[in-house]
Amino acid sequence: MNIIHAQLRLNCSNLNSHLVSLHVKDDPSCICGHNVENAYHYLLSCPLYVNERQKLFDFVSTKCNVTLDILLYCNDDLSLEDNIDIFLHVHEFIKMSKRF
């Protein structure tokens, strides 16, 4: 999960928009029908992962507002322990989504 998390940060994951930018695919759209499958779409809005996302958001929202930057990079205003917990929940989201 750490590798996938890092790939999402670096825009070099198996998400379709990343594969287009790496010249591996021609179509950046998501199978849900959205025109761009990027980290924002995958983590914050894709309807295919509503249940998994709700669990992630339920936890993160107890610590801070949920944003893409916090899910990908952390929050300097939180403790190391809280940031690790958020990352572990992001990893659980990635695992449970079965996208990768």
Dihedral over alpha carbons 6, 8, 14, 15 (to 10 degrees):
170
Helical (H) or strand (E) element with 88: helix 80-97
Give residue-wise pLDDT tens across range 10-24.
Answer: 999 999 999 999 999
Q: How far apart are CA 98 and CA 81, in angstroms?
A: 26
- What pLDDT does 90 receive? 98
Which tokens is 1 given? 């999960």
For each of the chain's 100 residues, which pLDDT tens digit applies? 999 999 999 999 999 999 999 999 999 999 999 999 999 999 999 999 999 999 999 999 999 999 999 999 999 999 999 999 999 999 999 999 999 9
